Amino acid sequence: MGDRSDEDMVKIVFAIPVASEQVELAGQTFAKWQRRGYGTAALVDGGGKIPANVDSVISVAEYKGWAWAVNLFSSVLPDADFIVTGGADVYPDGDHEPAIIAGECVEQFGGTFGVMQPAGDAYGAVADKAACVSPWIGKEFRERVYGGHGPMHEGYRHWYADAELMHVAERLGCFWWREDVSQYHDHFGRRGEPTPKHLLKWLPEHESGRQLYEQRRLDDWPGHEPTP
């Protein structure tokens, strides 16, 4: 067996939940990530259709929110050095090889205990540096934070989970904004389109998510502490 470099050994997986009305879009997006050398993973619920160009599929009876989905990905993809998450409207950087990006993250964090957000596409929360909407989450970080229960607080269903992730990583000294890496967010808002159907059902929970976020922020993110 020939020798392989450390960069060749790195595994990065783009992993997202896929709503039924986004199956076709997700398949097209997965193809973009695969062409760049990433693995792909999808979570589908209720017997939904499986998108094209996906390496791993998790089928669940009930979708319980984005934070819950990311934690589930973390448990079923334990060999991924980095999981990149977000949504079906997030595209990979076209100028940097994924293994190179991952290697630079390992150097920055001294391993995989860290979270990196590409910020080259300065749009929305990324432009405001208010949340990491499409983060790279390292293996050790996923395994250790919140007492080993996954990288996100599952009290959030959809809104504000990415904001707490950013703050917790900052609190632990392992968050990195990378303005030289760009993951284009083809958000419906920048295209002047209405809120997609799969997001409408979460709108009533926006205020409760904000209240939870504000309270947890005041309390310094209780329960976020990593295992030794």
* pLDDT at res. 3: 39
C-alpha to C-alpha distance for 28 and 24, rounded to whole angstroms:
6
DSSP code for 81: S
Q: How many CA atoms lie within 13 A of 215 on its CB side?
A: 8
**Rg, Å, the chain Cα set:** 17
Residue 199: helix, strand or coil by DSSP? helix
Predicted TM-score (pTM) of this structure: 0.94
- Tokens read off for 124: 């929305």
Angle at 201 between CA 16 and CA 83, to 5 degrees: 15
Give the domains, in start order, of the chain with CATH numbers: 6-218 (3.90.550)
CA distance 43 to 15: 8
How far is Cα 177 from Cα 191, in angstroms, rounded to an integer?
Answer: 25
Q: Which residue has the tokens 């799969």?
A: 198
DSSP state of 203: G
DSSP strand E in the chain: where? 12-17, 39-45, 56-60, 82-84, 115-118, 136-138, 175-178
CA 202 to each of CA 63, 129, 156: distance values in angstroms, whole numbers, following the listed order: 12, 23, 11
Which segments in the chain show pLDDT lower than 70?
1-8
- In this prediction, residue 211 carries a pLDDT of 97
Q: What pLDDT score was predicted for residue 8? A: 54
Give the pLDDT score at 155. 95
Which pair of tokens denotes residue 226? 């990593």
pLDDT, residue 5, reads 45
Q: How long is the chain?
A: 228
Query: Residues 6 or more apart from 53 whose CB is under 8 A from it?
Result: 27, 28, 30, 31, 34, 40
Q: Which residues contact 142 (CB under 8 A, 6 or more apart)?
A: 74, 83, 150, 151
pLDDT at residue 203 in the model: 83
Find out whether 147 and 60 touch, Cβ atoms under 8 Å: no
Task: Check the CA dihedral 176-180-186-187 and report its sign.
Answer: positive
